[in-house]
């Protein structure tokens, strides 16, 4: 089977690494890929957002299956076009992808189907936001409505934080069209958890839980990023919590999907807050998370291609999943200036000496040298019998890797 993965991040390298293990995969392509994917697949000079270009390539080269890694092509309707041409694709169609493409769309979906989430309002101007905020107590959360690469969320603890967020969103227009509408949410206290679920059009099949660390600095300080590290399973998600999540979150989502005019097939990522009032949904994503994928897939013993095929065909079953009981800790190394800027072209050294999994993200190979090529550069993932063991192995390996301006957190999993 000839398989094409769209994307160039750490998530796509992890997916490619897992897909390459399947005996059904005879040819693996990644577009555009990175320095890591080129070691296990053929990188293509193809932009995932060039929907017609991707469709034409798949038709001309008889691609059997397309796996869409990032959210933007899904929101742009790439799965719709591929399926129109008879090409199998993994990911939701455009109508369902709005669950990530628009925060207001997802909040309305949750309202309609009684899925627990934070109270919210929608505003389209700074004046409207200030009027709404006048009656709300701090802390408060502001979110750009559209896609913002995981950076459009502001947790405002003070009036100064609110002013800075409103300035970014409405004056500087940092997120362009994605920030034209802003969702204001009540702040939820509790423990965050990530749950990636396969959905075959009818049922949700949760993967193992994960805990993502979003802030750039230790102890959850600094601005939000796309994610600076992750641990799976989430040590806070006990069997009792999972039972409650199943009853109060997953079942209502399934019933909600059944009631909507669109069908959801692919991966639903559920960002959760475990509160004193029970589990509540923070956000939906419509693809695998990053860096969650880098800590969840190393624990998956099942054939990923088989799971994807059964999802597309609507034949998935709980018994199809087999998990390694080990703990996985993934630590991200980001470039200088991240999350707002990034330094490219710095030489990366030490990767070849790592004994653990290294998933590339913002990397490129040039003149025989490995160079940085983006904000989040790579992640080291390590498995251990315990959280402490996985933590020690991950950081021991990460400390062997060096590049100018390297940023890492020291408390992933802690």
Residue 156 pLDDT > 90, yes or no?
yes
Question: What does DSSP say about strands 120-123 and 140-144: parallel, antiparallel, or unpaired?
Answer: unpaired
Domain 119-186 in CATH 3.30.1490.20: yes
Q: Averaged over 339-364, what is the pLDDT?
A: 95
pLDDT of residue 151: 78
CATH 3.30.1490.20 domain locations along the chain: 119-186
pLDDT of residue 188: 95
CA distances from 196 to 6, 88, 176, 212, 231 (A): 19, 21, 29, 12, 13
pLDDT of residue 401: 98
Residue 250 pLDDT > 80, yes or no?
yes
Task: Name the CATH architecture for the domain at 327-398.
Answer: Alpha-Beta Complex (3.90)
Report the alpha-carbon distance of residue 102 to residue 107 in Å, rounded. Answer: 9
pLDDT of residue 44: 98
Which residues, 6 or more positions from 325, have their beta carbon under 8 angstroms from its beta carbon? none
Phi–psi pair at 235, nearest 5 degrees: -65, -20
pLDDT of residue 114: 97
Nearest to 225 by CA among 307, 300, 290: 290
Residue 238 pLDDT > 90, yes or no?
yes
Three-state secondary structure of 354-397: CCCEEEECCEEEECCEEEECCCEEEEEEEEECCHHHHHHHHHHH
Q: Which long-range contacts (CB under 8 A, 24 or more apart) does 141-144 make?
A: 141/184, 141/185, 141/186, 141/187, 142/166, 142/169, 142/182, 142/183, 142/184, 142/185, 143/103, 143/182, 143/183, 143/184, 143/185, 144/103, 144/169, 144/175, 144/178, 144/179, 144/182
CATH of domain 2-94: 3.40.50.20
Using 50, 70 and 90 to split pLDDT, how confident is the model at 30?
very high
From the centroid of its chain, how far is CA 410?
Answer: 21
pLDDT tens column, 310-349:
999 999 999 999 999 999 999 999 999 999 888 899 999 9
Among residues of the chain, what percentage have pLDDT more than 70?
100
pLDDT of residue 300: 98
- Under CATH, what is the fold of the domain 191-320? D-amino Acid Aminotransferase; Chain A, domain 1 (3.30.470)
With tokens 């090409």, the residue in question is 87
Which residues, 6 or more positions from 178, have their beta carbon under 8 angstroms from its beta carbon? 144, 145, 146, 147, 148, 152
Residue 112 tokens, joined = 């309609």
Helix (H), strand (E) at residue 123: strand 120-123
Question: What does DSSP say about strands 65-68 and 2-7: parallel, antiparallel, or unpaired?
Answer: parallel
Q: What is the mean pLDDT of the chain?
A: 96
CATH 3.90.600.10 domain locations along the chain: 327-398
What spatial distance separates the first Cα and last Cα of the chain, rounded to whole Å? 41
CATH 3.40.50.20 domain locations along the chain: 2-94
Structure pTM?
A: 0.95
Helix, strand or coil, per DSSP, at residue 176: helix
Q: Averaged over 294-314, what is the pLDDT?
A: 98
pLDDT of residue 323: 98
Using 50, 70 and 90 to split pLDDT, how confident is the model at 8?
very high
CA distances from 187 to 250, 275, 282, 285 (A): 22, 11, 10, 20
Residue 328 tokens, joined = 């996985």
Report the alpha-carbon distance of residue 301 to residue 288 in Å, rounded. Answer: 17
CATH 3.30.470.20 domain locations along the chain: 191-320
pLDDT of residue 223: 86
Residue 1 tokens, joined = 């089977």
Q: Averaged over 11-18, what is the pLDDT?
A: 98
- Cβ-in-10-Å burial (0-12, 13-18, 19+) of 172 comes to exposed
Length of the chain: 414
pLDDT of residue 371: 98
Nearest to 384 by CA among 330, 304, 333, 303: 330
Which residues, 6 or more positions from 60, have their beta carbon under 8 angstroms from its beta carbon? none
Using 50, 70 and 90 to split pLDDT, how confident is the model at 247?
very high
pLDDT tens column, 195-208:
999 999 999 999 99
Residue 110 pLDDT > 80, yes or no?
yes
pLDDT of residue 190: 95
pLDDT of residue 342: 87
pLDDT of residue 135: 84
Phi–psi pair at 220, nearest 5 degrees: 55, 50
Residue 227 tokens, joined = 């994610």
Nearest to 4 by CA among 75, 94, 96, 79: 79
pLDDT tens column, 268-297:
999 999 999 999 999 999 999 999 999 999
pLDDT tens column, 33-88:
999 999 999 999 999 999 999 999 999 999 999 999 999 999 999 999 999 999 99
């Amino acid at each position: 089977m000839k398989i094409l993965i769209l994307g160039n991040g750490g998530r796509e390298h992890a997916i490619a690494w897992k897909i390459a293990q399947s005996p059904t995969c005879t040819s693996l392509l990644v577009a555009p890929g990175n320095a890591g994917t080129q070691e296990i697949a053929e990188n293509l000079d193809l932009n995932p957002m060039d929907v017609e270009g991707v469709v034409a390539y798949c038709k001309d080269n008889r691609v059997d299956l397309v796996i869409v890694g990032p959210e933007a092509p899904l929101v742009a309707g790439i799965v719709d076009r591929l399926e129109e041409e008879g090409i199998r694709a993994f990911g939701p169609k455009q109508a369902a992808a709005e669950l990530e493409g628009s925060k207001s769309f997802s909040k309305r979906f949750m309202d309609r189907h009684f899925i627990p989430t934070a109270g919210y309002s929608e505003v389209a101007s700074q004046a409207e936001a200030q009027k709404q905020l006048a009656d709300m107590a701090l802390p408060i959360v502001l979110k750009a409505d559209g896609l913002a690469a995981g950076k459009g969320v502001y947790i405002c603890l003070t009036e100064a934080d609110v002013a800075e967020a409103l300035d970014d969103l409405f004056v500087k227009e940092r997120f362009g069209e994605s920030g034209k509408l802003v969702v204001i949410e009540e702040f939820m206290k509790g423990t965050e958890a990530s749950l990636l679920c396969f959905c075959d059009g009818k049922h949700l099949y949760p993967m193992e839980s994960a805990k993502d660390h979003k802030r750039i600095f230790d102890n959850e300080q600094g601005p939000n990023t796309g994610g600076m590290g992750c641990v799976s399973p989430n040590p806070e998600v006990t069997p009792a919590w999972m039972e409650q999540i199943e009853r109060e979150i997953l079942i209502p989502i399934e019933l909600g999907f059944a009631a909507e005019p669109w069908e959801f097939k692919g991966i639903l990522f559920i960002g959760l807050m475990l509160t004193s009032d029970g589990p509540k949904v923070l956000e939906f994503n419509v693809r695998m998370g990053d860096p969650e994928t880098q800590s969840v897939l190393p624990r998956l013993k099942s054939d990923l291609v088989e799971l994807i095929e059964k999802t597309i065909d609507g034949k998935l079953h709980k018994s199809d999943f087999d998990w390694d009981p080990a703990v996985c800790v993934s630590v991200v190394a980001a470039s200088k200036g991240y999350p707002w800027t990034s330094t490219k072209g710095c030489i990366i050294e030490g990767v070849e000496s790592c004994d653990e999994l290294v998933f590339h993200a913002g990397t490129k190979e040039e003149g025989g040298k490995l160079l940085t090529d983006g904000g989040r550069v790579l992640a080291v993932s390590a498995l251990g019998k315990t959280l402490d063991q996985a933590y020690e192995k991950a950081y021991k390996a990460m400390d062997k890797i060096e590049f100018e301006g390297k940023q890492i957190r020291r408390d992933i999993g802690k």
